[in-house]
Amino acid sequence: VSEVVFQGGTILTIDADHRVLAGDVAAIDGELVHVGGPYTPRTRDYEVLDCHGCIVMPGLVQARVHTYQTLARGRADDLERMDALRGVIWPYEAALGEDAVSAAAELACAELLLGGTTAILDVGPVRHTGAVFAAAAQSGIRATIGKAMLDAPDAGIPPELRESAIAALDESAKLIARWHGAAEGRLRYAYAPWSAWACTDELLREVGVQARARGVRIQTQAAEGRAEVAAVRGRTGKESVAVLDGLGVLGEHCCVAHATLASDAERRLLAARRAQVCHCPSSDLKAAAGVAPLPELIAAGIPVALGADGAPWSNRLDGFAELRLAALLHRHRGGVRALPAPEAVRMATLGGAAALGLADRIGSLEVSKRADVIAVDVSGLHALPTSSPWSAVAYAARATDVCHVVVDGRLVVRDRRLHTLDLGRVRDRAKRAAARLFA
């Protein structure tokens, strides 16, 4: 169908005035044409979604995920991040074939969409990143994806995963040619150099140059933990954000995940370059990596998004869980106003859109934006009685409360059923592939 109507909900627009409206939201050919008040379909080919008792809002955007890691869910529990990476995740990745990558990515995309996440920034594997793009294409999710780039000779990277800078850049260029702008623009590429400790200066500098030349974004991580900070200092003698900046990586087009241990100087540099930061509260807490200085990042004017990181790191790719945790986590230092519900919801939607460079296209419900819209059922016992929709979404809602999901105007979840992938097949493939990998 070309026209979709979310009928009769409470609408969180996430516009500049944080307006909350009653009525309908409608999209034609993927573009929002109506937000608030009654709507009558304008074409013959339309679908009406009953949203009474629901909050209708922009889909959640997660600016840090690793869909290819989903088969390693539960395999990195209670380990230091660096130990998990070297002992579990990299060996897992070295053993991944194309079919397993596809199974992992389909499982992730299904979980994400059913849980109301409509767009992701995804660091893919070193190899077979095309299979991640293909799974994202099939699932209907909006995804900006990049293959991981790892070329430092002394970072403990398994030989199967370490490439030369040239090979990593060549493969990225091929993926850009094939996938950047594919699926009517739903799929995009973003360079994904692993970090300042796992990449050489040569690679990082060239990523900086090529990303600008091609108008493609960059996703990486920095200050993500003590061992990682020490590794960057060992390789370069500097802090990780300073290394990224010195090599031309930082900028508005760059999203830096974690920033957990970002110093004052690093925060100033991120702000000065107008770089994006993706806060990953579950992942950081689980790995005991520290608590990111979110109030300070926000006070410095740095745009912040949220992400679950990969399934090994947070176990659930649940945008509502990250939203709630982010809203609560910083109050031990910042007090009850550290991140109020409306700001937290904005971070999980429009903040994520900005991190993908798509704030002018998605992240809020405004006429002429693309239609990435979800309906969240707040009639569950845990959300009743609903006093404020901000409160319901930030503190009470769960991924399983999402009942309808539209991405780019296409209905992908209706009445909690995913239309794009066969869930029985997704489950079987994932279980079989994981059993083989971890046998």
Question: Between the CA of residue 239 and those of 20, 65, 67, 254, 353, what are the distances in Å?
Answer: 43, 24, 28, 17, 28
Which range of residues in 76-84, 269-277, 309-317, 334-342 is near Zn ion by CB under 5 A? 309-317
What are the b/e assignments for 184-199, b being 16+ CB within 10 Å?
eebbbbbbbbbbbbbb
Task: For the chain, give the longest Cα–Cα distance.
Answer: 65
| Cβ atoms < 10 Å from Cβ of 170 | 12
- CB nearer Zn ion, residue 124 or residue 140: 124
**x/- track of binding to Zn ion for residues 327-366 (CB under 5 A):** ----------------------------------------
Contact window for Zn ion (CB under 5 A) among 6-14, 50-58, 306-314, 345-353? 306-314
Q: Report which of 347, 349, 327 is spatially closest to residue 338, judged by C-alpha positions.
A: 327
| Site size toward Zn ion, by CB under 5 A | 1
- Contact window for Zn ion (CB under 5 A) among 264-272, 307-315, 332-340, 429-437: 307-315
Instruction: Please name which of 100, 104, 101, 10 lies closest in space to residue 57, comparing C-alpha atoms.
Output: 10
- Give dist(CA 172, CA 226) in Å, integer: 30
Residue 11 or 161: the one with the smaller Cβ distance to Zn ion is 161
Candidates 10-18, 160-168, 303-311, 331-339 — which segment interacts with Zn ion by CB under 5 A?
Answer: 303-311
> Rounded distance, CA 5 to CA 22, Å?
13
Minimum distance of Zn ion from residue 64's CB (angstroms): 6
Nearer to Zn ion, 123 or 406 (CB): 123
- Nearest approach, Cβ of 81 to Zn ion (angstroms)? 9
| Minimum CB distance to Zn ion smaller for 172 or for 195 | 195
Q: How far is the CB of 278 from Zn ion (least distance, A)?
A: 9
Q: Of the two residues 314 and 349, which places its CB atom closer to Zn ion in the complex?
A: 314
Query: Which amino acid appears at position 150 of this protein?
Result: L
Q: Does 322 bind Zn ion (CB under 5 A)?
A: no
- Of residues 37-56, those binding Zn ion (CB under 5 A): none
CA dihedral of residues 106, 109, 114, 117 (deg, nearest 10): 180
Least distance CB 308 / Zn ion (angstroms): 10
Which of 309, 318 has the CB closer to Zn ion? 309
206 binds Zn ion (CB under 5 A): no
The least distance separating Zn ion from the CB of residue 287, rounded to whole angstroms, comes to 10
Shortest approach of Zn ion to residue 17 CB, angstroms?
34
Q: Smallest gap, in angstroms, from Cβ of residue 93 to Zn ion? A: 12
Applying CB under 5 A, the span of 160-168, 198-206, 304-312, 388-396 interacting with Zn ion comes to: 304-312
List C-alpha distances in Å: 385 to 22, 53, 269, 424: 17, 11, 45, 35
Q: Which of 1, 34, 43 is nearest to 373 (CA)?
A: 34
Between residues 81 and 267, which has the closer beta carbon with respect to Zn ion? 81
Q: Tokens 């995009």, residue?
A: 188
Residue 106 and residue 71: Cα distance in Å, rounded? 11
Indicate whether 93 belongs to the interface with Zn ion (CB under 5 A). no
**Shortest gap between Cβ of 195 and Zn ion (angstroms)?**
9
Binding-site member from 206, 284, 309, 343 for Zn ion (CB under 5 A): 309
Find the shortest distance in angstroms from Cβ 255 to Zn ion.
11
Residue 342 CB, nearest approach to Zn ion (Å): 27
Of 228 and 309, nearer to Zn ion (C-beta) is 309
Q: Looking at 85-93, 165-173, 243-251, 308-316, which segment touches Zn ion (CB under 5 A)?
A: 308-316
For residues 13 and 260, which CB has a smaller minimum distance to Zn ion in the complex? 260
Footprint of Zn ion (CB under 5 A): 309
